[in-house]
Amino acid sequence: MEKKPHFVRREFLHREVPSISLVLLLAAFLLLNALLYLYLNKFYSSLGRVETDAGLCPFGHFKFGAVKNCSPWLSCEAINREVRKLKCVGEGAVKKVFLSEWKEKKVVLSQLTNSELKEDFLHGLKMLKALQSKHVVRLLGYCEQQFTILTEYHPLGSLRGLNETLHIPRYKGMNTWHRRLMLAIDYVSVIRYLHSSPLGTLVMCDSNDLDKVLSQYLLTSDFHVLVNDLDALPLVNRSAGRLVKCGHRELRGEFVAPEQRWPYGEDVPFEDDLMPPYDEKTDIWKIPDVSNFFLGHVEGSDIVRLHLFDIHAACKKEDPAERPSAQEVLDTYRKVLTLLIREAAMPGTREML
């Protein structure tokens, strides 16, 4: 009679242990989901903050670094007096770029090199002024008379050097599928911003091959993407029947969208006047190729590609009208990031429960 309660107690404990384990597992699952929610909420809040927030300064002003007060864009006089060139760091068809110094801070001074392309230069300046936001390199000053633009300096340079940067010891911790997908999200966010900008629907025309696309964007020190070169940014206005053409030369290759290629075959010589115009969906066609570069070949990147397969297939539709908008692509990228972070946080949780 005395052993029975002891037996019952052991049986009760035996049944209780799995129940306690299940409760602890559920508690851990809920805690991780709460932490994941807070992390993603903070991440998406930063992505969705006011598009025109360029350091919380009013139009025509800037601040950067640890400086608290906003300063007006530097004038011709201020640039000539206060900015000192250090060395040439690049030269393109339109302008030459100098690493420079202003008040002991590194800055970038861009100057027109070909007077025949001054309209392109001034268009780029106009876009830079009008589109100041978290997606665009920060304008510090300009001088139209001398065809000079002053912008913020980003030491990691253009996206062309991304893979080399990620192999530098101090940045190797950034070389993950998670960080690479976030860079791709930044890139698509820029495209979405341009397609719904304060000026209207703008097309990124300096994008005839992958290398050219990557050269138009900067990698910031905190690993975000900024568009840097806005010289070729024509406006689509469907209500006015205005479409665009990216330049006046024939475009070739699989990287450019089908509607950007000469449609009349090899037997008909290219004529700019006969080339049909197109819209912003050319940018959508290129997203999968640019994102493939971002994702690289790190552990987990193939899983990301698998999750993005359907949206990328839609981006590659021959008919531009059937391609998704930049907003739809961005929404899908964010959903995939959320899903994969959740799965990485609690692998096998569904099977355990």
**What mean pLDDT do residues 3-25 have?**
56
pLDDT for res 344: 81
Work out the number of other CB atoms within 10 angstroms of the CB of residue 6: 9
> pLDDT tens-digit profile of 333-348?
999 999 999 888 766 5
3-state class (DSSP) for residue 190:
helix
The distance of Cα 314 from the centroid of its chain, to the nearest Å, equals 20
Query: Hey, which CATH number is domain 72-153, 2.60.40.10, 3.40.50.1970, 3.30.200.20, 3.30.470.20?
Result: 3.30.200.20
Bridge partners of residue 200, in order along the sequence: 197
pLDDT higher than threshold 50 for residue 45: no
Which pTM was predicted?
Answer: 0.84
Distance CA 327, CA 347 (A): 30
Q: Which CATH superfamily is domain 154-346 in?
A: Transferase(Phosphotransferase) domain 1 (1.10.510.10)
Domain spans of the chain?
72-153, 154-346
> pLDDT tens-digit profile of 219-276?
999 999 999 999 999 999 988 889 999 999 999 999 999 999 999 999 999 999 999 9
> pLDDT tens-digit profile of 301-345?
999 999 999 999 999 999 999 999 999 999 999 999 999 998 887
The residues, any chain, with a CB within 8 Å of residue 305's CB and separated by 6 or more, are 292, 295
CB 262 within 8 A of CB 250: yes
Distance CA 251, CA 270 (A): 10
pLDDT for res 57: 87
pLDDT for res 241: 87
- Do the domains 72-153 and 154-346 sit in the same CATH topology, yes or no? no
Question: CA angle, corner 45, sides to 42 and 50, nearest 5?
Answer: 150
